[in-house]
Amino acid sequence: MDFKFYFSLFLRRLPWFAVLVALGTAVGLTLASVLPPVYLAQARLLVESEQIPDNLAASTVQTQATEQLQIIQQRILTRAALLELANRLQIYAPAPGRPAPVMTADDIVADMRARTKIVTTGGSTPRGPAQATIVNVSFEAPTAAKSALVTNEIVTMILNENVSLRTGVASQTLDFFVQEVARLDKELAVRGAAILEFQQQNSKALPESLDFRRSQQAAAQERLLQLTRDETALRDRRTTLVALYEKTGQVAAPTAETLTPEAEQLKTLRDQLNQALAIYTPQNPRVKVLQQQVAALEKVVAAQLPSAAAAAEAEAGAAAPSAYELQLADIDSQLKLIADQKVEVNAQLADLAQTIAATPGNAISLDTLQRDFAAVRAQYDQAVQNKARAETGDLIEALSKGQRISIVEQAVAPREPVRPNRLLIAAAGIGGGIVAGLGLILLLELLNRSIRRPVDLTRKLGITPFATLPYMRTRSEVRFRRTAIAMALLAVLGGIPAGLWAINTYYMPLDIAIERGINKLGLTEIAAQTRQTLGQ
C-alpha cells in the first residue's frame, strides 16, 4: 500500500471533502439550533373496578376495560374531535412575528395523531393474576405549558367520553326494556281480549264445562227414558180404562188419597234432592240435575191441580161430568204434558250433543290462544325483571359506582424538552459530512482510470520511465482554485443556514416541513425510528 500516494490523492481532493464536511456541519448545526424544542407532558389514569359487587347489583355495561379504552381512543382521535381541539386550544397558532404555517386539515389531523400517545398497560391476562389497567396519556408540543394543557384536555375528553359511553349504554338499555315492557303489555292485552272473546262466543262449548254437560246429557237421556215409560204407562192405563168402561160401563172412582204418577215421582225426587244436599254442595252437578227435574215435575203437578179444581166446581154445579170423563181428561192432559216435556228434552239433548261435539275443536283453539298468552306472559315477566336490572344499572352508572376511569397523576409542564438532541444532531451532521466527503473522494478515484504514477506506466504500458515530472499549476490557476473553494465554502456555510432559517421563519416550521416531506416520500417508519434514536 502506497500510503503516501493515497494521502496525496486525499490532499488533491481535499476541497471537495471540505465542501461536503462544511455542508454536513452547516446542516447539522442549523437544524440543531433552528429546530423547535418538543416538550412531552404525561398524565396517568387508572381503570377502577365496580364499586358495588356484581352479586348485589350489577351494571348493565359489560364492556371490558381494554375494549372500552380502545373505543374511547378511536372516538377522541376522530377527525372532527382533533380539529375542534386544535382550533379551541390554538395549537397551531403562529408565534408572534411569524406567519401562520401552511397546513391543511389533513395535515393537522395527521400531526395531532402523531403527537398524541395513549398507551394502556396491565389488565386481565390469559395467564397469571389480573393487573391494574393503567393508561398513560401524553402530547408533544413546542412549549411545556401547551403540552401540559393539551394533555390534560385529552384526559378530560377521555373521562367525559367514558362517562358518556357508560351512561349512554345504560340509558339505551333501560329505554329498550321500557319499550319492550310496554309492547309486551299491549300484546298481552290483545291476546287476553282474544281469549275472552273466544270464551264468550263459545261459552256453551268450553272444555271446562264438558263433564257438567255430559252429566246434563245423561240426566236428560234418563229423563227422556222416564217420560217415555210414563207415556207408555198412561197410554196403557187409558186403553185399559176405555176397555173397562166399554165392557162394564163403570170405572173405579179415584179417592182423595190417590196420587198421580207425576206426584209420586215428584215426592221421590224431593227425597233424593234432600239426601244429595246433605252430602254435596248446591253447585254439585248431581244436585243441579235433581233440582231441574224437581222443577219440571212441579210444573206438571201444578198443571194437574186446575183439573181437580174444575172437578170440584163441577160437583158444586148443576151438571157434573162422570168419573170416566174426568179420568180420560186427566190422562190426556198428562200425555200432552209428557209430549211437551219430550220436545223440550230432545231440544236440550240436541243442543248438548252439538256443544259436546264442538268442544274438542274449541279446546284446541283455546289451548293455542292460552299457550300464546303464556309465552307472551313469560316474555313480559322476563322483560319486567330485565327492566328492573336496567334501572339498577342505570342508577349505578349515574352515581359512577360502576367501572370508571380516575386520574392518578395529572400532566404538569415538563422542565426539559424530550427532543431534539441538539448535540447529537450537530454531531450527526458533522459525521454525515465527513462520511459523504470520504465517499465522494473514493467514488472519484474509483472512476478515474488515468495514469498518475510511474508504476502505472509499467503496469499498463509495459515500459519503465527514466524520470517523471509532476503537473505544475501557475499562480493564476492556484489563485482561481483557492477562490472557488473559498466561495463554495462561504456559500455552504452561509447560504444553507440562511435558507433553512428563512424557511423555518417565513414559510413553515422545519419540523413540520420535514415531516410532510418524509410522508410524501413514504419514509414515515424510517423517520420514526430515527426520531426515536435522536430524541432518546
CA 493 to chain centre: 66
In contact, 296 and 220? CB cutoff 8 Å: no
**Residue 23 confidence (pLDDT):** 78
**Residue 195 confidence (pLDDT):** 92
**Residue 256 confidence (pLDDT):** 41
Can you tell me the distance from the alpha carbon of 398 to that of 61, in angstroms, rounded to the nearest whole number?
Answer: 12
For residue 322, what is the enclosing H or E element? none
Closest CA to 169 of 429, 418, 390: 390
In contact, 488 and 17? CB cutoff 8 Å: no
Phi, psi angle pair for 47, to nearest 5°? -90, 110
DSSP three-state, residue 57: coil
Buried b (16+ CB within 10 A) or exposed e, 162-193: beebbbebbbebbeebeebbeebeebeeebee
CA 330 to chain centre: 87
- C-alpha cell of residue 50: 365496580
Buried b (16+ CB within 10 A) or exposed e, 101-120: bebeeebbbbbbeebbebeb
| pLDDT by 10s per residue, the chain, length 536 | 566 766 776 777 777 777 778 777 877 777 777 777 888 999 999 888 777 766 666 666 767 778 888 888 898 899 999 999 999 988 887 765 555 566 788 888 988 898 899 988 876 555 545 677 889 999 988 888 999 999 999 999 998 888 888 888 888 888 988 999 999 999 999 999 999 999 899 888 888 888 998 998 899 899 889 888 888 888 888 888 888 787 776 665 444 445 667 777 877 887 787 777 767 777 777 778 888 887 887 777 777 654 544 454 445 444 556 777 878 888 888 889 989 998 999 999 999 899 899 999 989 998 999 999 999 999 999 999 988 888 888 887 777 777 788 888 898 988 888 877 878 888 888 888 888 888 877 887 777 776 666 666 677 776 777 666 666 667 777 677 778 777 776 776 667 677 766 766 666 666 666 666 666 666 566 655 555 554 44
In contact, 134 and 40? CB cutoff 8 Å: no
CA 311 to chain centre: 93
User: Which neighbouring-strand residues pair with 139?
Assistant: 41, 116
Closest CA to 531 of 443, 502, 521, 518: 518
What does DSSP assign to residue 100? P
- C-alpha cell of residue 31: 437544524
C-alpha distances out from residue 534 to 419, 420, 428, 433, 511, Å: 7, 7, 9, 17, 13
**Residue 48 confidence (pLDDT):** 80
C-alpha distances out from residue 214 to 198, 208, 453, Å: 21, 11, 138
Instruction: State the CB neighbour count (10 A cutoff) for residue 371.
Output: 10
Can you tell me the distance from the alpha carbon of 19 to that of 247, in angstroms, rounded to the nearest whole number?
Answer: 170
For residue 326, what is the enclosing H or E element? helix 323-398
**Residue 483 confidence (pLDDT):** 81
**Residue 434 confidence (pLDDT):** 87
DSSP three-state, residue 42: strand
CA 196 to chain centre: 37
Closest CA to 261 of 235, 279, 289, 290: 235
pTM beyond cutoff 0.85: no
Instruction: Name 225's Cβ contacts closer than 8 Å, sequence gap at least 6.
Output: none
